[in-house]
Amino acid sequence: MSEDDDNKLIAQRREKLTALREKGQAYPNDFRPADIARDLLDEHENRAKEYFESTEIPVSIAGRMLGKRVMGKASFAHVQDGSGKIQIFLQQGAVGDESYDEFKHLDVGDIIGVKGKLFQTNKGELTIKASSFRLLTKSLRPLPEKFHGLTDTEQRYRQRYVDLIINNEAREVFKTRVAIVKYIREFFNSRSYLEVETPMMQVIPGGATARPFVTHHNALDMDLFLRIAPELYLKRLVVGGFDRVFEINRNFRNEGLSTRHNPEFTMLEFYQAYADYNDFMNLTEELLREIAENVIGSTSIKSADGETTYDFSKPFARMTMAESIAQFNADIYADDLNNLEALRSIAERKGAKVQDNWGVGKLQTEVFEATVEHRLLDPTFITAYPAEVSPLARRNDKDPHVTDRFEFFVGGREIANGFSELNDSEDQAARFREQVAHLDAGDDEAMHYDADYVRALEFGLPPTAGEGIGIDRLVMMFTGAPSIRDVILFPHMRPEA
C-alpha cells in the first residue's frame, strides 16, 4: 500500500490531533485503569438496579470507544478493552461543559480512559456513569460500519487489527485457539511429558514428505532448510533418555495455498517410550474428547457449513485402510487391493493418481484418499497404513507390508498422524535408501538419507509411539472455521498492489 492514502476523514482527524498537540502531550501514558470490563460485568451485571443507588462502586477503565450516541446533554458509548466491553454514560452536568464538548468531538475508535461509578440503565444494562474521561490515543482512521462490521475477507486477513477491533467472532476464534493450545500443554505436562524446542533450521529437512523452504547461512556459506517437521529431532531426544517429549511449534512447507494450507503452520508432536500406536489412539481420543468437553463445552461439534455435527461423545471408530476402502466401495474386492495390476485399474477407474513406479501400498493409499477420506465425518481412526508410504513407522508384526500407524479424521479431514516408531536402525537405513531412490527419480518430496538419525537409532531408540496433530486444522474443526486463514492471526497473503 502507499504511504499517502489519506482521505478527507483522516485529514479531519489529523486536524484534531494537531489541536491536541498544541494543548500539550497528545499521547499521554499515565492513565492506569483499575478495572476491566469482563470483571465488572461478571461481578455486578446481575445486581438489582436499586443496589447501585445505595452502594457507590467507583471504577476506572480504559479502552477503545465504540458506538458513540450523543443525545444533547447526555451521551452513551461503549468502551472495549482486552476482556470485553462495557457501556459508559456521560452527562454534561457531571463532567463539566468543556469536557463534555470535548467528548462530543471524539471519534469512534479513539482510545479513552474513564473514571466513574457503576449504575444500571432503565434498559437494565450495567453502565459506568462517568465523572471524568481522558483521550489517551487519537485514532486517525475510521473504523468499518458498526452494523455489518468488516466482511471483506481480504481486508480482514490483511488488516487483522481491524478485524479484531470490530468482529467479535474473530476475537472469539483466536481466544478459543489459545485455550485449546493451553489445554493441550497442560494435558501433556500433567502426564510428565517435557516440552522441548528443536531446530527450525535444519541441514537435512526430515520427518515428513514435503518440499522445504531453503535459506542460506552466510558465515558457514551453506544452505539450510526450514523444517517440515520436528520428528527426527524429537526421537533423538527419546534416544537421549527423555522418555516423554512434546513440542508445539511452527513447520514450513513450500506448497500451494488453500483453505487448508498455509506455508507456515503449527504442529503438535509428542513421543512416549514404551508405548505403541494403540496407546496413542486411546490418548488422542481422551485428549480430543476433553478439549470438546472442557474448552468448547460440548461433545457435538458443528461443521463449518453448520449442517452437520460430529459426535465426540461415543468411542471413535477404528478400521484399517483396507477395511475402509471395502466399506465405501462396494465394487472393490478385498483381494484386488493386493494385486498390483487389478489395483492399478481400480485406481484409474476411481480417478486416483497412478504412476508406473508406484507399488501396491502407494496405490492403495491413493484409492483411499480418492474414495474414503472425505467421507470420514464422525471421529475415525484409520490404521494399517502401507509401509511404502510410511518410511518412519514400525512394521506390523503379522503383516510386514503395513505399519503400526493410524491417521485420525473428522469431517473428512486429516487431523492427526501417529505410529509406533521404527526403531530398527537397519530397516530405517533401508527405508531411507528407498526414499533417496525416489528423490533421485525426481520426486522432490521424498526424504533424504539422514545418517546422524540412523546413528542415533543405532545407539538404541526404545520402543516408542509418536504422533503429530495439526493445530490449525484442529482449531478449524473445533471452531467451525471454513478456512485456515480464519484461525491464523496473520495468514500468508500476496503483497498488496
Interface with RNA, residue 147, by CB under 7 A: yes
Q: Rounded distance, CA 294 to CA 191, Å?
A: 18
Q: Residue 475 to residues 64, 178, 304, 481: CA-CA distances in angstroms?
A: 28, 9, 11, 8
Kindly state the number of chain residues that form the binding site for RNA, as judged by CB under 7 A: 58
Q: Which stretch binds RNA (CB under 7 A): 7-15, 38-46, 195-203, 265-273?
A: 7-15
**Options 4, 24, 48, 123; binder of RNA; rule CB under 7 A:** 123
Q: Sign of dihedral through CA atoms 223, 226, 228, 231?
A: positive
Interface with RNA in residues 415-444 (CB under 7 A)? none
- Nearest distance in Å: CB 260, RNA: 9
- Nearest distance in Å: CB 184, RNA: 26
- Nearest distance in Å: CB 367, RNA: 13
- Nearest distance in Å: CB 125, RNA: 4
Interface with RNA, residue 351, by CB under 7 A: yes
Q: Rounded distance, CA 31 to CA 113, Å?
A: 7
- Nearest distance in Å: CB 424, RNA: 35
**Options 122, 190, 192, 357; binder of RNA; rule CB under 7 A:** 122
70 or 454, CB closer to RNA? 70
- Nearest distance in Å: CB 317, RNA: 24
Cβ distance 457 to 428 under 8 Å?
Answer: yes
Q: Rounded distance, CA 272 to CA 465, Å?
A: 5
DSSP state string for 313-376: SSPPEEEEHHHHHHHH-TT--GGGGG-HHHHHHHHHHTT----TT--HHHHHHHHHHHHTGGG-
**Options 24, 256, 306, 315; binder of RNA; rule CB under 7 A:** 256
Interface with RNA in residues 32-91 (CB under 7 A)? 67-74, 76, 78, 87, 89, 91
471's enclosing H/E stretch is helix 471-479
- For 109-150, the three-class secondary structure string (H helix, E strand, C coil) is CCEEEEEEEEEECCCCCEEEEEEEEEEEECCCCCCCCCCCCC
Q: Rounded distance, CA 61 to CA 69, Å?
A: 19
Interface with RNA, residue 102, by CB under 7 A: no
As a 3-state breakdown, the chain gives helix, strand, coil percent values, each rounded to 5, of 35, 25, 35
Q: Which stretch binds RNA (CB under 7 A): 137-145, 172-180, 276-284, 467-475?
A: 137-145
Residue 248 pairs with which residues in a beta bridge? Answer: 268
Interface with RNA, residue 295, by CB under 7 A: no
- Nearest distance in Å: CB 405, RNA: 24
Interface with RNA, residue 155, by CB under 7 A: yes
215's enclosing H/E stretch is strand 214-217
Interface with RNA, residue 240, by CB under 7 A: no
Q: Which stretch binds RNA (CB under 7 A): 375-383, 429-437, 453-461, 477-485?
A: 477-485
β-pair type (84-91, 126-137): parallel
User: Which residues lie near RNA (CB under 7 A)?
Assistant: 7-9, 12, 67-74, 76, 78, 87, 89, 91-93, 105, 107-108, 119, 121-125, 127, 141-155, 157, 256, 258-259, 351, 353, 482-483, 485, 493-497
